[in-house]
Structure 1
Amino acid sequence: MLERLRDWGVDHVFGYPGDGINGILAAWTRTGNKPAFVQSRHEEMSAFEAVGYAKFTGRPGVCMATSGPGAIHLLNGLYDAKLDHVPVVAIVGQTDRTAMGGSYQQEVDLLSLYKDVASAYVQVVTVPEQLPNVLDRAMRIAVAERAPTAIIIHGDVQELEYTPPAHEFKMVPSSLGLDRPRIAPDDDAVRRAADILNAGNKVAMLVGAGARDARDQLVEVADLLGAGAAKALLGKDVLSDDLPWVTGSIGLLGTRPSYELMTGCDTLLIVGSSFPYSQFLPEYGQARGVQIDIDAEYIGMRYPNEVNLVSDAAAALTALIPMLERKSDRSWREEIEANVARWWDTMQMQAQVESDPINPLRLFSELSSRLPIDAIVTADSGSAANWYARQLKFRGNMRGSLSGTLATMGPAVPYGIGAKFGVPERPVIAFAGDGAMQMNGLAELITVQRYWQQWTDPRLIVAIIHNNDLNQVTWEMRAMGGAPKFEESQSLPDVDYAGFAAGLGLAAERITDAEKLGDAWDRALAADRPTVLDVYTDPDMPPIPPHATWEQFVDVTKSVVAGDKDSWGFVKQGVKTKLQELLPRRNR
């Protein structure tokens, strides 16, 4: 099995040991640890590390766990892979065949358990002759379907002498490798799409992770159409934020220019995105729609498009470009660029709003201009995702990701670890909330300590938003439920994260003064080892949605102020933050 993984180019397997995979672990001692076994602190982290590895390398991630509880622990990370369309192969143990059906220790019906998360392919290996075909199919399907697959191997089967499938009846031979086709667009569909886009006066583009390999074509199409482009959260690194017509993220965590782009357009071009929040797209009937996506399963499901073009994004846009007419009226583009310029001014002003102790927006703002051109940025779910989406300007070859669709807590640090094994020469910055750190990030710092000296570039910076509050849910309760903060569920115990990291031998800083943030980032980016920045932030800084009006902000405040012990703090900070959108700009 390990030889076959090596033949597939697998260089790392993220896992945790257990007696259900003892036979496989024993084989590792005979291989010189090739592929390298990366031991996490918990199987869920192994799965997240495989997802991070796959997201930032484009190659399938592989994770491994023992039978029963180990296999169960992988599930959350595998669902993250499934919902974000990432190729991951899970290899899990199972109790011996002789014990099956006997309510034996760690006997779980893994085939049933995995049939949803690994719906693309899950299979049990019961004899050695199955192995090549099952493993090859798991790898191929994971890549082809951009999905998690799973292999279940009984403990006693792991101990059997390997014999390859024979050339006889009911034996299934197999082969390595997969050369993926570039799915070309239908010519008639391209012409119909071009007619719609040429007829529009105010064209908006929405780009997602599926357009990552079509950056040059996206820029040319936007220029011809005088369009602006909003980015789905998983597509934040597809287009540079230095482009003046790129409006940034879209949705509840998005920007006001993206909201204005969608409410003002008369034509919508969606490329490589299945962004689910249709309330942030144009009103039905407002805009004519064209969508390009490589997967017919996910096309045409968010907006009533006139053309749903199934194709590789780059191939479709390349075919489309010669048919597009350059729009001479650039007033729509000029309006978009003015909105974008004002927005970035607003973000800078909001980051400078005084807070006690530190405005969390400033933590991100101070990094943005300092980001290395080859940086990889990961973020946790929660308030970290808000500021990641809005405050960081990506440019050049920067990459970034988070748990986009599952929106689970805890992946920022293990994503970063997976990235460091996949592209060890690149610096990685992980933004995590203190809730996520207490859930699993602290333990995974031990994994960082164990392996960091293997990385070509030792820089993995974990920046912690330390506010002793499960802040995103606190704000969701206030804004969506009209309810005050519920202390018993929302408040966190205080932890010395920097002290914990320093005890592991990592570089660590405790920061309570906003004026020291810039220097702290400089030191972390120049460090010769991983760094933890324990940044004490103000929980009362509101993640104001891009479409929120002043009247809505006042209404929310009135609904919760009476029962919320932090009412004065969030009212004061909310007013100061919202005002930055309303203040006049020089030369704007």
Structure 2
Amino acid sequence: MAEHTVADVVVERLRAWRVPRAFGYPGEAVAPVVRALDDAGGDPEFVPARHEETASFMATGHAKFTGGIGVCLATQGPTAVQLLNGLYDAKLASKPVVAIIGEDVSGPLGGAHQEIGLSRLFADVCNQFVRYVGTPAQVPSLLDEAFRTAAATRSPVCVVLPRHLQESAVPDLQPYATGLLTATPGEPLARVLPHDADLDAAAHLLGNGQRTAILVGQGARNAAPEVVALADRLGAGVAVSLLGKPVLDERLPFHTGVLGEVGTSAAAELMGGCDTLLLVGTNDPWTDYYPLPGQVRTVQIDIDGRRVGSRYPVDVPLVGDAAETLRALLTRVPDRPRPSWRATVEGSVDRWRGEAAGRADLPAEPLNPQLVLQELSARMPRSGAVAVDVGAVLYWYARHLRLPVGVNAQLCGTLGSLGCALPYAVAAKLAAPDQPVVALVGDGAMQLNGLAELITVAQHWHRWPDPRLVVLVLNTRDNSGAGRSRHLPADATRRHVDVPYAGWARLLGMHGVRVDRPDLVGAAWDEALAADRPCVLEAVVDPAVDLAPPQPAFVDLRGIVADGDAARMVRDRVLGTQVAVEADDLV
């Protein structure tokens, strides 16, 4: 019988924490754990990435798409350094990830070879928990503590496991054999609700608002019915953060779309005209698009009290779970719909939707990228997932792709790191291989790491019940990544080596479609989504299409410091002319 080693215990603890797979780039210092995973028969599975950075993005993507805990493996030195980008993504997005780092200092060079102080390296990104394992007996408890901490703090953590320990025999660890845990991966550890007095104050404030706006973030992902019910009760308009885009049905007539530079004019107008603001589960950084200081009274709901008031002044803070807090508010908020305000919001939404359609129809050379996303919107599968990269594709996704209800979409919205979408898509597809996945990528991100990670897709797709993983590459032949940028000289957009992205997919045994004619875009999407294998859809688009961010409401007044009498002056003079409120709305 083979000797039971620490590496085997690592696999057992991953299994006990219901980790389905670990992502990594295999190296000598973590080889015993990788071998133990290979011997585990896929429970859990080891998924080798082409690069350590993409492995950490896959782990974070797993946490984002599934709500569970992502796991990534690496070795000391440069391999460990490459994990940082994905781990910072997890930290800034408040997602639980466990990084297990193998360290080998037993060679003739000792600690000098690839020597990087791992405790200091991970001290910031994994500031909640960084531990070295000193003895075999410590492994089960340290790993359990790492997983508990990641789940409780919704953050990345790090365990450093020396190679010689991985191969060591373990003592009798019978207390851990049952796999009993004190926490459940990816779920809140307690019920969090605000105090009754705070709920009463919030209900009073919201009930007295005449023109209410609700800004919804990813923290409201399980609270869509409650958000809609409260919006109807108050006659409110709703906007979403970029991360909150999948939360609500985007067909709602009072849904103004995404707020911010990547968003819509309707969302900006909603913020400009409201006198009452409810923030639900959002830490949206586009503060230039929030109402002017002094314009509104504000309630904020967030399960993390550190975020309340961090972006905008708050009159009534409510620390609690979004769905439960909204249900408690609904028992207190009076039914006071404001038909005139709601009609104003819906008119703004109608104007924006017409404008968006007109933008997609504008001629471009050779393709308008807005048209490419609009054509996908009409064909988007009713289930599955969408992974979105950084760059101009974010603008077109935010404005032109209407997500079906229940389709999960994720992006690196807080860190904003290029090259996240394809690793995310791999993680989403491995988590739900019977569901379609669409990745939206620019050519810069595709050249950064996407071409390499298509090899990972090619390695796994034969086992997927639904083989559809469609990677849209917006080929601008422009590696500045900025289109008509306000920050780059004109000649900076002519430095691109045109890569045959669809051809590369075909070389790997997948499907590839290249389209450069507007009349063929719809047919190209039909072909890609009907393929019997993963597909790269390469759309040759015009980099000069203007990103056209919406103007923040009252942009000319953003320099005013509005407090006290000045705030009242801004509110009375500006808001008095912004929205005409009928008498029945003042009751």
Q: Same fold (TM over 0.5)?
A: yes
Q: CA deviation at 1:525?
A: 1.3
Conserved 8 A contact 2:513-2:528: no
Q: CA deviation at 1:285?
A: 0.3
SS at match of 2:490: coil
2:163 is aligned, of 112, 135, 155, to 155
SS at match of 1:32: coil
Given the alignment of the two structures, is residue 418 of structure 1 paired with residue 422 of structure 2, yes or no? no
Conserved 8 A contact 1:224-1:326: yes
Given the alignment of the two structures, is residue 546 of structure 1 paired with residue 555 of structure 2, yes or no? no
Conserved 8 A contact 1:65-1:92: yes
Corresponding residue number in structure 2 for 1:46: 55
2:526 is aligned, of 518, 522, 528, to 522
Q: 1:485 to 1:166 in 2, by over 3 A?
A: same
Q: Write the letter of the residue equivalent to 2:359.
A: Q
Q: CA deviation at 1:32?
A: 2.4
Conserved 8 A contact 2:412-2:420: yes
- Inter-partner Cα distance in structure 2 for 1:74 and 1:99: 27
- Inter-partner Cα distance in structure 1 for 2:14 and 2:335: 50
Q: Per-residue displacement from partner, 1:328-381 (whole Å, max 9, x unpaired)?
A: 431111111111112111111111111110000011000001111113111110
Conserved 8 A contact 2:367-2:516: yes
Q: Write the letter of the residue equivalent to 1:510.
A: R
- Inter-partner Cα distance in structure 2 for 1:144 and 1:385: 31
- Inter-partner Cα distance in structure 1 for 2:200 and 2:495: 57
SS at match of 1:234: coil
Conserved 8 A contact 1:96-1:157: no
- Inter-partner Cα distance in structure 2 for 1:27 and 1:127: 19
Kindly report which structure 2 residues correspond to 1:125-136, keeping only aligned pairs within 5 A, or say none.
125-136=133-144
How much identity, in percent, do the aligned residues show?
43
Conserved 8 A contact 1:382-1:471: no
SS at match of 1:93: strand
1:345 is aligned, of 354, 362, 371, to 354
SS at match of 1:65: strand
Given the alignment of the two structures, is residue 115 of structure 1 paired with residue 123 of structure 2, yes or no? yes
Conserved 8 A contact 1:288-1:306: yes
* Structure 2: gaps spanning 5 or more residues: 1-9, 557-587
Conserved 8 A contact 2:483-2:543: no
Corresponding residue number in structure 1 for 2:414: 405
SS at match of 1:160: coil
Q: Per-residue displacement from partner, 1:427-454 (whole Å, max 9, x unpaired)?
A: 1110111011111000001110010112
Corresponding residue number in structure 2 for 1:509: 513
Q: 1:260 to 1:163 in 2, by over 3 A?
A: same
- Inter-partner Cα distance in structure 2 for 1:331 and 1:472: 43
2:146 is aligned, of 138, 150, 154, to 138
Q: CA deviation at 1:548?
A: 7.4
Corresponding residue number in structure 1 for 2:98: 89
Kindly report which structure 2 residues correspond to 1:264-275, keeping only aligned pairs within 5 A, or say none.
264-275=273-284
Q: Write the letter of the residue equivalent to 1:501.
A: A
Corresponding residue number in structure 2 for 1:563: none
Q: 1:87 to 1:486 in 2, by over 3 A?
A: farther
Corresponding residue number in structure 2 for 1:580: none
Conserved 8 A contact 1:413-1:430: yes
1:261 is aligned, of 270, 284, 302, to 270
**Of 66-75 and 196-205, the range deviating more from structure 2:** 66-75
Corresponding residue number in structure 2 for 1:485: 490
Corresponding residue number in structure 1 for 2:563: none
Q: Write the letter of the residue equivalent to 2:161.
A: I
Corresponding residue number in structure 2 for 1:194: 203
Corresponding residue number in structure 2 for 1:430: 439
Conserved 8 A contact 1:119-1:149: yes
Q: Per-residue displacement from partner, 1:519-570 (whole Å, max 9, x unpaired)?
A: 1111111111100011100011010011179x99xxxxxxxxxxxxxxxxxx
Q: Write the letter of the residue equivalent to 2:84.
A: L
2:303 is aligned, of 278, 294, 316, to 294
SS at match of 2:524: helix
Q: 1:490 to 1:143 in 2, by over 3 A?
A: farther
Corresponding residue number in structure 2 for 1:325: 334
Q: CA deviation at 1:104?
A: 2.3
Conserved 8 A contact 1:461-1:530: yes
Given the alignment of the two structures, is residue 70 of structure 1 paired with residue 74 of structure 2, yes or no? no
Conserved 8 A contact 1:21-1:67: no
Conserved 8 A contact 2:283-2:311: yes
Kindly report which structure 2 residues correspond to 1:236-251, keeping only aligned pairs within 5 A, or say none.
236-251=245-260
Q: CA deviation at 1:129?
A: 1.2
- Inter-partner Cα distance in structure 1 for 2:446 and 2:79: 21
* Structure 1: gaps spanning 5 or more residues: 553-588
What TM-score do the two structures reach when normalised by structure 2? 0.89
Corresponding residue number in structure 2 for 1:440: 449
Q: Per-residue displacement from partner, 1:175-232 (whole Å, max 9, x unpaired)?
A: 5241522212211100000011011100001110101011111010100011111111
SS at match of 2:482: helix
Conserved 8 A contact 2:13-2:179: no
What TM-score do the two structures reach when normalised by structure 1? 0.89
- Inter-partner Cα distance in structure 2 for 1:471 and 1:250: 25
Q: CA deviation at 1:29?
A: 4.0
Given the alignment of the two structures, is residue 60 of structure 1 paired with residue 65 of structure 2, yes or no? no
Q: Write the letter of the residue equivalent to 2:318.
A: L
CA RMSD of aligned residues (A): 2.1
1:368 is aligned, of 373, 377, 383, to 377
Corresponding residue number in structure 2 for 1:104: 112
2:498 is aligned, of 484, 494, 500, to 494
SS at match of 2:233: helix
Kindly report which structure 2 residues correspond to 1:561-580, keeping only aligned pairs within 5 A, or say none.
none
Q: 1:166 to 1:450 in 2, by over 3 A?
A: closer
Corresponding residue number in structure 2 for 1:6: 15
